[in-house]
Structures are given as C-alpha cells and as structure tokens.
C-alpha cells in the first residue's frame, strides 16, 4: 500500500484555518482558545494560502522548516491541496505532492474531498449531499476498494431554519451500517444553543448533556456537563465545568473546573486569557494550570503558565504568523506557522485603523517589577491600570495628562500571586491592553 501524505488534521484544526462547509462537530464543547478565527475552504483556495510549519531548534537558536501546504483553485468548481516536506540535507523544498482535491457544485458548495497517497492516487474520500433547504443532509467517508468505493462512516444532519446544526446521527460500517452516536440540540428564543444531548443507544435515554448559559451580549458565561444517573433517574454534574469572564473589551478569560470527588468540590484546573491588539484582533492567548493552594492568600489557588500563542498580521489584516511558546523558567519558542497568500479576494477582511497610541510591557514574564511604556501621538488624558484574570483592579500606574512621545511607567507587581494580569491603557476614547505573566 502506498504511504499517505495526508496533512495531519490536528494541525489544520489547531490553526483554525481549515473550516469545511460540513462538520460533524456539534459545537457544544468549550471553545479551544488556541484555535484562531478560520478561513473557509473557499477562502483558502481563493486566496491561495501557503502555510509553512517550523520548529525551534534550541541548540542552533533558530527556526527550522518542517513542511509546507498550499491551497490552489484549479477552476471555479475544483481545487487542490499540495504538500511538501523540507529536506535538511539539501536545505530545499522538493516538488509538491498532491495531498487532496476538492470538488464543488454549481452553487460553490463542497461535494467531494479526495485524499491522495504518494503516488497521487485517491485512497479515501468524503462525499456531501445537500437537502432541498440547501444545508448538508448526509456526509459520508468512503475507502477505496479496487475500482470502487466502500462506506466507512456517515453522518445524517438536521438543521434549523437559520442554518444551525440541530442534530445528527452517526453510523459506522462494520459489515453493515450500525448506529454509533446521536446528537440533538436545543436553542433559546434568541437562537443560541443552550443544550446539547448525546446518546449511543437509539432506544435509550440521552446519557450526556452539555448546558450553556449566556450574558446579555450573547457571550457564553458557563458551560456544564451532566451525565444520566440511571439509579437516580436524573442528570448529575460530571466532567469539567467551564466558566467564562470578560473583564474588559478585548479580553476574555476561560476557566475549566475539575470535580474533586473525595472533597466533593469543584476546583479550578486550568485557564486561558485571550487578549486583542489595538485593532481588535486576537493577539495573544496565555494558558495556565492549577499549581496548588496559594500560601499568601488562604482559600485561593495559584496558577502557573504553561504555553502561549502569539499572532502577527500582514498589513491587509490577514494572519501572517502563529507562534506557540512553552513555559520553562521563561518563555521558550516551540512551533510556528507562517502564512503567505498568492492573491486576495474582493471580500477579504482588512485591518481596522489602529489607535493613535501604543503600549508595551517588559519584562514579560516578571517576578514583580515591570515597566509599561506608553507612546502617544499627541497630548491627552490617560489612565493606566492593572487587572487580575478575574477583572479586579490591583494597581493604578497613572491617571492624568500625558504629553506626546513615550512615557515609561514603573509598576511593582510584587506581592501579587503568580498568574496572568492585564495592563490596560485608556487614552481618550481608545483602549489598549497587554497581558503580563507574574512568575515566582
């Protein structure tokens, strides 16, 4: 059998850059903070995206190429994904190999994806069928068998009138099609998904539920998972409970709570803090894990940083790079993805106009003392404050007029527990935030 060169799906999913028109995902779980805003497959092909994967070499102190993926539009109703792996011996890219091909119908909807081996032969395909309402009704994965195709798995979909996934039935082919999983969703009057239910027995009760509550801005604030207790004939809370907080514009905190059975209590397990740049685009995500009781604050928990995501953008607003870092007595480079676009489209997003001032914070991470550097184009009233991850104000660095130019503001974070904090500068009506990690 020829070796498959199929690009690892986890990479594409992690980057949030592959968003097929059909997905078996219900959207019920907690969002992955490390998944960036996505381009549709149409966007990938129309803009001719090339994604280069690199890893950091500690010994050489440099980024090194690993692989490259390019999307190409062949014609209005077809496209391809090409793949190449870097050759260290020759320090060059070999010729691209065909990794996948895409076919669209007259309405530019994806109807088939074929996955290729190293000989350019299709060994597997996904086929999508659409209902009279225009939404997908069936998605099937099939394996090559001789000159034909044999079903592997399939999803039957139901959609609401406004195009939200209301349910699906998942089946596997094990010598015949057998039921595997069923999902049903419920929505409130505003069209927000508030309940997801799953079962693996078509005649039995739904054994797992995910309930979501929202604030008045349609943002999730709590996500709770429950399982069916057959003895009590009711649903009981299990697994992770995820809470969301939005201390200020451009900042979001997502905290996962784990149940400690022998203490009969829910305890913070990990959390992430996402912050935007001055143009309102996602700029950074910091992840922390529970590090035990805080000796300086009875009843509180300490958090230790584990990894960080940093995004950079091209001048036209499209993502230029996605860098992952790990924390090991300081932030260390780990992996990054570089994005280039062969061309644009009339509908591509452009960057909003940036603010007339900038904010930088160093050192980051810090054991306590930091310096916030505020650069303004003109004199104005300014306020610079520090918040913890729950949105509580813990320091005021400046409040009053600032002149044009750069102002260095020393801020002492000593005495604060380790974790992620946000330095927020307000100049006139504009606001810029920067996340900083306090490490002990």
Alpha helices in 63-194 (DSSP H): none
Question: How many CB atoms are located within 10 Å of the residue 195 CB?
Answer: 15
Contacts (Cβ under 8 Å, ≥6 apart) of 136: 21, 22, 128, 129, 130, 157, 159
CATH code of the domain containing 192: 2.40.128.720
Q: Are 24 and 168 contacting, i.e. CB atoms less than 8 angstroms apart?
A: yes
User: How far apart are the C-alpha atoms of 95 and 114, rounded to whole Å?
Assistant: 20
- Domain residues for 176? 121-238
> Residue 143 falls within a domain, yes or no?
yes
> Residue 436 falls within a domain, yes or no?
no
In the 8-state DSSP scheme, what is residue 19?
A: B
pTM of the complete model: 0.74
Query: What's the pLDDT score for residue 14?
Result: 32
Structural domain count, the chain: 1
Whether omega before 365 lies within 30 degrees of 0, making that bond cis, reads: yes
> Residue 392 falls within a domain, yes or no?
no
> Residue 345 falls within a domain, yes or no?
no
> Residue 5 falls within a domain, yes or no?
no
CA 99 to chain centroid, in Å, comes to: 24
> Residue 199 falls within a domain, yes or no?
yes
Q: What confidence tens digit (pLDDT) does each residue in 174-207 have?
A: 999 999 999 999 999 988 899 999 999 999 999 9
Q: What confidence tens digit (pLDDT) does each residue in 331-367 have?
A: 999 999 999 988 764 334 333 334 467 888 888 888 8
> Residue 211 falls within a domain, yes or no?
yes
Q: Which residue has the higher pLDDT, 71 or 432?
A: 71
> Residue 96 falls within a domain, yes or no?
no
User: How far apart are the C-alpha atoms of 205 and 185, rounded to whole Å?
Assistant: 15
Q: What confidence tens digit (pLDDT) does each residue in 367-395 have?
A: 888 999 988 888 888 889 888 766 677 89
């Amino acid at each position: 059998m020829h070796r498959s060169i199929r690009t690892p799906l986890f990479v594409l999913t992690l980057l949030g850059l592959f968003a097929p028109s059909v997905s078996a995902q219900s959207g019920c779980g907690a969002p992955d903070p490390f998944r960036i805003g996505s381009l549709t497959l149409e966007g990938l092909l129309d803009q001719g995206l090339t994604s280069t994967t690199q890893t950091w070499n500690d010994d050489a102190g440099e980024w090194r190429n690993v692989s490259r993926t390019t999307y190409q539009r062949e014609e209005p109703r077809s496209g391809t994904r090409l793949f190449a792996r870097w050759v260290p011996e020759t320090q060059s890219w070999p010729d691209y190999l065909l990794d996948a091909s895409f076919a669209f119908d007259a309405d530019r909807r994806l109807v088939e994806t074929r996955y290729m081996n190293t000989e350019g032969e299709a060994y597997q395909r996904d086929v999508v069928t659409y209902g009279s309402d225009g939404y997908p009704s069936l998605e099937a994965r099939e394996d090559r068998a001789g000159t034909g195709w044999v079903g592997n798995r399939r999803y039957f979909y139901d959609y609401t009138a406004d195009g939200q996934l209301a349910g699906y039935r998942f089946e596997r082919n094990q010598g015949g099609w057998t039921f595997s999983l069923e999902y049903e969703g419920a929505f409130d009057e505003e069209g927000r998904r508030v309940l997801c239910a799953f079962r693996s027995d078509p005649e039995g009760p739904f054994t797992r539920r995910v309930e979501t509550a929202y604030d008045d801005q349609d943002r999730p604030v709590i996500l709770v998972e429950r399982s069916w207790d057959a003895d009590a004939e009711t649903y009981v809370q299990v697994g992770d409970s995820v809470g969301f907080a939005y201390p200020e514009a451009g900042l979001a905190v997502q905290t996962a709570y784990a149940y400690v059975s022998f203490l009969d209590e829910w305890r913070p397990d990990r959390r992430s803090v996402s912050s935007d740049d001055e143009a309102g685009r996602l700029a950074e995500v910091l992840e922390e894990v529970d590090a035990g009781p805080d000796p300086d604050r009875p009843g509180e928990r300490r958090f230790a940083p584990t990894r960080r995501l940093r995004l950079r953008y091209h001048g036209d607003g499209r993502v230029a790079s996605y860098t992952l870092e790990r924390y090991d007595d300081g932030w260390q480079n780990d992996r990054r993805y570089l994005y280039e676009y062969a061309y644009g489209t009339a509908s591509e997003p452009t960057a909003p106009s940036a603010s007339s001032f900038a904010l930088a914070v160093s050192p980051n991470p810090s054991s306590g003392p930091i310096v916030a550097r505020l650069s303004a184009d003109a004199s104005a009233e300014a306020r610079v404050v520090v918040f913890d991850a729950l949105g509580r104000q813990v320091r005021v660095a400046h409040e009053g007029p600032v002149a044009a130019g750069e102002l260095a503001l020393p801020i002492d974070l000593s005495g604060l527990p380790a974790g992620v904090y946000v330095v927020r500068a307000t100049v006139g009506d504009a606001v810029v935030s920067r996340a900083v990690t306090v490490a002990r």
